[in-house]
Amino acid sequence: MSIRTRQLELRAGGRTLVQDLDWQVGDGECWSIIGRNGAGKSTLMRTLAGLRAPDAGSVDLDGRPLAQWPLEDLARRRAYLAQSRHDAFAYSVIETVLAARHPYHGNRYWEGSDDHAAAVQALDAMEVGHLAARDVRTLSGGERQRVAIAALLAQDTPLLLLDEPANALDLAHQVQVMGLLARLCREQGKTVVMIGHDLTLAHGISTHALLLKGDGRWHAGPVTEAMQAALLSDYLGHPIETIEHGGRRIFIPLDAHHDRHA
């Protein structure tokens, strides 16, 4: 599923975060949005999800303006993982994931379809199937994050928007989740747009990167071009060095106050 922004402008608190963003995301591409805190990454993600109106410009999904998509149709086409969530009610893990199947059934209940199997499969993919009967309020942060990603998978949309999917996950599960997202793009043709802070992980699985400066400026392109040390150092406001190891590019933040040649 493709995304197109035209002259998109995002503002917050009197600041222009993103200006004149002309950006194209193609089917099956995996994009990482990179920038320092406050650069507008989550604001952009909420705008792409249809949860926030642009301050200027437009967003199209598959050539159709986002505002013209009926909510139920939109829920079948894109899934959104927010950066944080608050569980006020005692839903079980399986109920939480089953709720993601609601857009497919209108007034029918998902219990009467094959949704339970889809939910169990998604939980197993995130290695939380054994928690199916647990109250979501009793889970650890990492367990709750994996349940949220399982719900995203169960929604089974062609477009996945993820705001820090690796948040609260240990290293093994970070690698697992990122690898799964890469396979969804590569093997199933899904489109993924995500925010993350681990540059090495992002480079390893992404096809493209969008850099946000936080003052309106932006840079978009394939990872081999966009994730260069000098460009990242500029956009992140911190010196970055890269090394090649075992066929991978590793990104190292340097101590800005230390002469590495000393």
pLDDT per residue as tens digits for the range 87-134: 878 899 999 999 898 888 755 555 556 788 889 999 999 999 999 999
pLDDT confidence band for 48 (50 / 70 / 90)? very high
Q: Which domains does the chain have, with CATH numbers?
A: 3-84+157-253 (3.40.50.300)
pLDDT value for 247: 84
Q: Which long-range contacts (CB under 8 A, 24 or more apart) does 45-49 make?
A: 45/80, 45/161, 45/163, 45/193, 45/195, 47/8, 47/10, 48/3, 48/78, 48/161, 48/193, 49/78, 49/80, 49/161
Indicate the average pLDDT of the chain.
Answer: 92
pLDDT value for 256: 59
pLDDT per residue as tens digits for the range 26-39: 999 999 999 999 99
Q: Give percent of the chain with pLDDT exceeding 90.
A: 81
pLDDT confidence band for 262 (50 / 70 / 90)? very low
pLDDT value for 112: 53
Distance CA(245)–CA(249), nearest Å, equals 6
Distance CA(224)–CA(209), nearest Å, equals 9
pLDDT value for 114: 78
pLDDT value for 104: 80
The number of helices, as runs of H, and strands, as runs of E, in the chain is: 9, 12
pLDDT value for 257: 59
pLDDT value for 84: 80
